[in-house]
Amino acid sequence: MVVALAALVLTAPQMVPTVRVAPRLSRSVASTRAGVSASAIDRRQASTVAAALVLGCSLLPAGVVAAPAAVPAPRVAIETTAGTMEFELWPEVAPKTVDNFVKLANNGFFDGQCFHRVIAGFVIQGGDPNSKKGYGPSGTFENADMAAVRTWGRGGPGYTVDGEFNPRKHEFGVLSMARSASPNSAGSQFFVCLGNLPSLDNQYTTFGRMTSGENVLRALGSAKTVRGDFPEIRQGITSIRVL
């Protein structure tokens, strides 16, 4: 099955009045005292929260919950024959896809593959284990194994991952999953957008974006191709590392 593309209160206690009536405070004085009192409470509460963050939540006053520490987005480096590109991944919108991509990367699944499909202004596509074979010794189609070349675009990890279509757009440098006609047929093949591609939005699972290496992506995306959108000269994936 060919995997291809379509062309994230404090309340004050009530005061019991005494027999003597205190003189009324002017509005400005009353406001000032109220402000000082509120500020003092805020400072005490802030100090308590700060101490709780250091020592544990047992010091937090009732009703106050410490905000969870921010978890940095997972990042990967795609090392290619043209240089290195880095990406942040989006588990908040595509958790299964990100988990799968990270697992494959950690297992060395992508090492030694190539970008077997390049369409200028559209995408570069990789992630097919079949792409480890096919090119000739010179990295061109001279003395190529054409039987192996004909399998490019058909390989995967031996299982599929359900689609996680989400609001993140297909824009330059965005990572997305390739698939066949079934929305739940993604596996390991992915693509990187070479421009804004709204026709792909909500049709393919976006799961990350480039943070560095724009010049590398442009170099890969400008590779000369032959029939089938195969690069004439091998555009290799040396490795994909989780940072």
DSSP 161: B
Per-residue pLDDT of the chain (243 residues; tens, 9 = 90+): 555 554 432 233 333 333 333 444 344 434 444 443 444 445 555 554 444 444 444 455 566 566 666 778 899 999 999 999 999 999 999 999 999 999 999 999 999 999 999 999 999 999 999 999 999 999 999 999 999 999 999 999 999 999 999 999 999 999 999 999 999 999 999 999 999 999 999 999 999 999 999 999 999 999 999 999 999 999 999 999 999
Q: How far is CA 148 from the centre of its chain?
A: 32
Q: How far apart are CA 85 and CA 144, in angstroms?
A: 28
**179 forms bridges with which residues in the sheet?**
4
Predicted pLDDT at 70: 73
Residue 118 shares a structural domain with residue 187: yes
Residue 120 shares a structural domain with residue 215: yes
Residue 117 shares a structural domain with residue 212: yes
Residue 42 shares a structural domain with residue 161: no
Residue 196 parent element (H or E): none
Tokens of 131: 């792409």
Strand, helix or coil for residue 61: coil
Tokens 């096919």: give the residue. 134
Note every long-range contact of 82-86, with CB atoms under 8 Å and residues 24 or more positions apart, other chains counting.
82/216, 82/219, 82/220, 82/235, 83/213, 83/215, 83/216, 83/219, 84/212, 84/213, 84/216, 85/192, 85/210, 85/212, 85/213, 85/216, 85/217, 86/210, 86/211, 86/212, 86/213, 86/243
Distances in whole angstroms, Cα of residue 10 to Cα of each of 57, 62, 94: 19, 10, 40
Q: List the helix and strand counts (H, then E) for the chain.
A: 4, 11
Question: Domain for residue 190, yes or no?
Answer: yes
Total domains in the chain come to 2
CA-nearest of 152, 146, 91 to 126 is: 152
Q: How far apart are CA 164 and CA 172, in angstroms?
A: 20
Residue 213 shares a structural domain with residue 179: yes
Predicted pLDDT at 157: 98
Tokens of 14: 């009530």
Residue 120 shares a structural domain with residue 202: yes
Residue 101 shares a structural domain with residue 217: yes
Residue 32 shares a structural domain with residue 137: no
Predicted pLDDT at 17: 36
Strand, helix or coil for residue 83: strand
Question: Domain for residue 70, yes or no?
Answer: no
Please answer whether residues 174 and 192 qualify as being in contact, where contact means their C-beta atoms are separated by less than 8 angstroms. yes
- Size of the chain in residues: 243
pTM over 0.85: no
The dihedral region occupied by 142, where left means phi > 0, alpha psi between -120 and 50, and beta the remainder, is beta
Residue 93 shares a structural domain with residue 201: yes
Predicted pLDDT at 198: 98
Q: Which residue, of 59, 83, 112, is where some domain finishes?
A: 59
Predicted pLDDT at 178: 98
Q: Which residue, of 9, 35, 59, is where some domain finishes?
A: 59
Tokens of 243: 């940072």
Question: CA Rg, the chain, in Å?
Answer: 29
Residue 54 shares a structural domain with residue 85: no
Residue 220 shares a structural domain with residue 132: yes
Task: Provide the CATH number for the domain around residue 107.
Answer: 2.40.100.10
Residue 36 shares a structural domain with residue 102: no
Strand, helix or coil for residue 88: strand
Q: Which domain holds residue 221?
A: 75-242
